[in-house]
Amino acid sequence: GYTRAEIDYFWGTNKSITAEAHKAVAFDAFTLPQFKQTRYIVNHTEAVTSSGKYVRLYVEVLLVRNIGFYSMNIVIPSMLIVTISWVSFWLNREASPARVGLEVTTVLTMTTVITTTNNSMPKVSYIKGLDVFLNFCFVMVFASLVEYAVVSYMNKRIVLKRQKRQKAQEQQQRQERPMFASPAKPNNNVDAFYMGAHHALARHQLMEIPPDCDFRTIPLQQHPRLTAEPSSPLWPAPFGRAKKATRTCSNITPAKIDKCSRYLFPLLFGGFNVLYWTILTVLSSMSESTTMEGWYDIDKTG
């Protein structure tokens, strides 16, 4: 409330000796549950307003978070949640309720952990180191869910192709008919059968059996298929070769994706942890070893 012309504040007993200003502050033996006090600095500043100049004294204390609380309540549970999401890689691909339920549960659990942690942390605009770790854990469990979605889609496509192939084979077998009429029938020119709702009588002309032909050795009549040869793409061939699958389709299968995921996800998460904790350790050691001018250790003040 008083300008500098009226009252001049300073640290210590002598205004001219600024090197001993830190001795005016002393810390008692106290502990904090989540923080460890390391350094402090005493300083003063001058505020200029329309009414005059004012001297302001302030003390800054450097605190370091205790990692024990965060490792036991946030880091280790997050690692276990990510590890649990890998169990789905060993489950059967047909067990959709089990795999989807496991993956969705891990995703929701990681979301709850991130929300709870952010509510207890200070609301800052920059990205904290713990945010990087939790967000990467969330990406890992979400990637496990996406992996099963891909596996399930590919497995469904394979089943549909197999059913379509079997259906085509069954239809082709139904369309086969004898080339010659049976000699047991009195009339070799008429083959009657019922069709439709009205059971209309249809007639199909059949060839007569040659006298020197054994009809039991004659194969069934087959519809010709187009050859795959580039020289004659429209020439009918009864036994054309089937088109081979491409190398990409033959190599990538749902079973191989699950097998690769069993090794890829742990290696990726392990590599991230090694890189993450190495960087944090180096940054922490650099911060502690840096000599900041005007800062003093709390444990040396007595």
| H helix or E strand, kind and range, residue 48 | strand 35-49
* Identity of the highest mean pLDDT range in 21-25, 45-49, 189-193, 198-202: 45-49
Rounded to whole angstroms, the Cα distance separating 187 from 195 reads: 21
pLDDT tens per residue across span 216-229: 554 544 455 544 45
Greatest alpha-carbon span in the chain: 138
**Residue 261: CB atoms within 10 Å:** 19
- 178: tokens are 């004898």
Helices (H) and strands (E) in the chain, counts: 6, 7
Rounded to whole angstroms, the Cα distance separating 139 from 133 reads: 10
Query: Quick one: pLDDT band at residue 199, thresholds 50, 70, 90?
Result: very low
pLDDT tens per residue across span 16-32: 667 777 778 888 877 78
Rounded to whole angstroms, the Cα distance separating 276 from 131 reads: 12
Burial environment of residue 197 by CB neighbours within 10 A (0 to 12, 13 to 18, 19 or more): exposed
Question: What predicted TM-score, i.e. pTM, was given to this entire model?
Answer: 0.63
Strand-pair partners of 61: 40
Amino acid found at 109: T
Q: What is the pLDDT of residue 50?
A: 83
What percent of the chain lies above the pLDDT cut of 70? 70
